[in-house]
Structure 1
Amino acid sequence: MSNQPSTTTIRIGMVEFIFLMASLMSVVALSIDAVLPALGFMALEFSVGGSEIQLVITSLFAGFAIGQLIYGPVSDRVGRLPGIYVGFAFFILGCLLAMSAQSLEMMLIGRFLQGIGASGPRIMVSALARDCFSGRAMARIMSLSGAVFMIVPICAPMLGQILLWFGPWQYIFAMYIILAVLLCIWTWLRLDETLTHEKRRSIHPKVLWEAFILVLSNRVAAGYTLVSGLVFGGFLGYLSSSQWLFQKIYDVGDAFPLYFGALVFPNLMSSYLNAKLVMRWGMFRLVQLTNLLVFTGSLGLYMYAQFYDGVPPLMHTMAFLFVIFSGIGFQFGNLNALAMEPLGQVAGMGASVVGAGSMFISIPIGGLIGMSVDTDIFPVALGMAVCSLLSMLVMHWVRFGFGKPKAGGGVSS
């Protein structure tokens, strides 16, 4: 399905491939967003405060980051499909621990295992896409998958809220288990292995170390990994504090899923538009333009909030966030494709280092922003403004260095 000589042909149709990739990606988003309406109930049950219960979100990301370092290298040796199946096994184990948790500590262990498990299917999506496509074609596939994937954050909080109307928060984790089983069956029935035997690599520690250094020493891969971490760090700050922001600061109550879901629409539209525009404009130009959009929107929100002691009218805040998330929607698929472009020969290890590296960067940034949110929106607005500004500077360095740009120069498209 690609005219690239270094890629593998897949037998299933393009539409099904995109939907399957989006579904495997969605496990992480669903694990985050569906549980958001339940955080207040968990805080009461475990007798903890609002800032502590946010660890239910960040602990999953911690497991997600560490898991990516394992699945990618192993998949370069044994193939992509085993990483999906083993990942779902850990994911289900984490769900069972979380369902039976009697304390916050046990819940965090379960969420950590969920993150390790979810990283298997997610990291395999990047490796599978790189096995079958490259360059702008890969960016297009990731954008289309991302556009389908964005449906999940829209629906997940409402799904979690509906399950809470019928029973305790443990119902949400039961739903996760059912989803994992269904995705395993779909993958087993329809997806062939994309890593041919002649392309498999040794997992000897020396070989892994050499591949690891190859990724980190590549200015394009390392630079765009840093940018991905900055972009997602700002977004994670909003994500981890969204329940507190809407239900405590703006007091929207059970309508929280509606407001949260509404702000996914700009991401959805941007992902779809990116798939159309990336083949014409290129990845670098789109990301830099949207970095400027995110910076302007975030700084504008921060300055506007000064007139309202940090809490502008809800609809005004929603308007600013709509603009900001419109920009972010262009970035995730492009940044992943940019980072993976020079790593075709070590796609599994590359996907691991890129994915885990961006997570290790984003988790402390998102945690700092989220834990700083108390009675106003200043931390969210300022955090995203700083992250977008740093992203622009790093991307300039990746493409041109810090010297004067040369005509026609550049590292990647």
Structure 2
Amino acid sequence: MTQTKPVKRDSMKLPIPLWEFVAMMAAVFGLQALGIDVMLPALSLIGEELQIANPNDQQLIVFAFILGFGFPQLVFGPISDRFGRKVLLQASLIGYFLTSFMCMIAPSFYWLLAFRFIQGITCAGTRVAAGAVIRDLSAGRAMARIMSLVYTVFMIVPIIAPALGTLVMTVAPWEWIFGVLGAFSFLVFMWTQFRLPQTLPEEDRRPFSLKSIREAFHAVLTNRISFGYMIASGVIFGCLFSFIGASEQVFDDVFGRGDRFWIWFAGIAGVLAVMNYSNSRVVDKWGMRRISHAVVLVFIALSLVNLLWMQFVGQDFWVFYVLFAMTFACFGMMGANFTSLALEPMGKIAGTANAVYGFITMTLSSLLGIIVARVFDGTVRPLLIAYVLLGLISLSVILFTEKGKLFGVGEGKEP
């Protein structure tokens, strides 16, 4: 296949049909979600079999993967800018495949955490490569539209993953959940090997040198819009990871509904998928800033209402679940728009920019998620307090980034 030339602002040029490209990128992004969500129903069982003393420590099986996902992106970004996206993608998929089976044979809890951390590193390579491919082939609101479609399909993974994990455990030991991850990564490898061309032309590749890397990092970190939306995204997505880490305990310990955990989790993920798709339909008309700024305000308001109800009226499951699902839906109109706003100014250093974005957002959100999830006290109060506070902090960062003006009238106004 021939290489694809970079595209102009607010346009796209795809080497394969749009539906296939969206499905392919969603599958690559899905390696991260599947690596987290498929084992959520198994955490208690793994904790029992591996004799974990503190029940909260079972969350580390999730967070080891997430932490491994963060820092390596800073290395993978310059690699993708030098050698191209496909080399990094294929090598990372091979690594993901191998570490999946290493997790199956882990002799102890600490070895499992080590292998999960390495698996997170390999997944980081797939995320950097896929994000750079999307930026190579699209820009502006067109990129936001593609990202929304990718996230919509990608959200099918957390909808079905807990159910898939439950199904695996009905026919095989929990270790085979990691076998599912290995099989999925192999299928993605074969698909991208034969259908995805190299998207970064030779003439646009940057030398792999300390000077080149330093210049690229400097360009990303000194751009007010890019850096601001990286921080805002990392802060508010700490809410998402705190729920993922403590979700089984919330539904089981707080509300006594752990037997149908996968159903409740799928419902929340389904609402999120709908909102991602909705964003792809309206972003061209309303713009990334207007939509994302508005839903941050809605996110804060819904979290505050839920907190006040749980605190002063009582921990009613259906009130919590409906309000929480609506709150979670806001992520569907923040993720793609924040990403597109951060990467829009970066152009030919999309690999490094996407790596810095991934590192900052993932590291910040995972650390905040760990802190919040670890203070779980048998109620939903710590979770909802964190949602309100982190939402307000994210809004403050956006206000600073846009010089005090929201809804598309600040610096870098959309055309």
Shift of 1:84: 1.1
> 2-side partners of 1:320 and 1:409: how far apart?
31
> 1-side partners of 2:219 and 2:199: how far apart?
23
> 1-side partners of 2:130 and 2:385: how far apart?
32
> 2-side partners of 1:408 and 1:66: how far apart?
34
Matched, 1:375 2:378: yes
Picking from 46, 61, 65, the partner of 2:66 is 61
Query: Which residue of structure 1 aligns with residue 111 of structure 2?
Result: 106
Within a 5 Å distance, the mapping from 1:5-404 to structure 2 comes to 5=8, 9-48=13-52, 49-308=54-313, 312-399=315-402, 401-402=403-404
Matched, 1:410 2:415: no
Deviations 1:379-412 (A, max 9, x none): 111111111111111112111x25x789954324
> 2-side partners of 1:188 and 1:74: how far apart?
19
Shift of 1:92: 2.1
Query: Which segments of 5 or more consecutive residues in structure 1 lack a partner in the other structure?
Result: none
Question: Which stretch shifts more, 119-128 or 199-208?
Answer: 119-128
Structure 2 length as normaliser, TM-score? 0.95
Which 4+ runs in 1 deviate beyond 4 A? Answer: 404-409
> 2-side partners of 1:71 and 1:406: how far apart?
34
Shift of 1:197: 0.4
> 1-side partners of 2:216 and 2:358: how far apart?
15
Shift of 1:253: 2.9
SS of 1:66's equivalent in the other structure is coil
- Structure 2 letter corresponding to 1:262: G
Contact 1:22–1:145 (Cα < 8 Å) also in 2: yes
Identity of aligned residues (%): 32
Deviations 1:153-197 (A, max 9, x none): 100000000001111111100111111111000001111110000
Shift of 1:316: 1.1
| Count of paired positions | 409
Structure 1 length as normaliser, TM-score? 0.95
> 2-side partners of 1:388 and 1:124: how far apart?
29
Contact 2:5–2:199 (Cα < 8 Å) also in 1: no
Question: Which stretch shifts more, 390-399 or 175-184?
Answer: 390-399
Deviations 1:130-163 (A, max 9, x none): 1011010000000001111111110000000000
> 2-side partners of 1:253 and 1:407: how far apart?
43
> 1-side partners of 2:407 and 2:330: how far apart?
27
Shift of 1:87: 0.9
Deviations 1:346-377 (A, max 9, x none): 10000000110111211221011101112100
Deviations 1:30-82 (A, max 9, x none): 01000001101110111112211101111101111122122211010100011
SS of 2:345's equivalent in the other structure is helix
Query: Which segments of 5 or more consecutive residues in structure 2 lack a partner in the other structure?
Result: none
Contact 2:69–2:120 (Cα < 8 Å) also in 1: yes
Residue 308 to residue 213, structure 1, CA distance change in 2 (3 Å): same
Shift of 1:10: 3.0
> 2-side partners of 1:405 and 1:99: how far apart?
49
> 2-side partners of 1:307 and 1:319: how far apart?
17
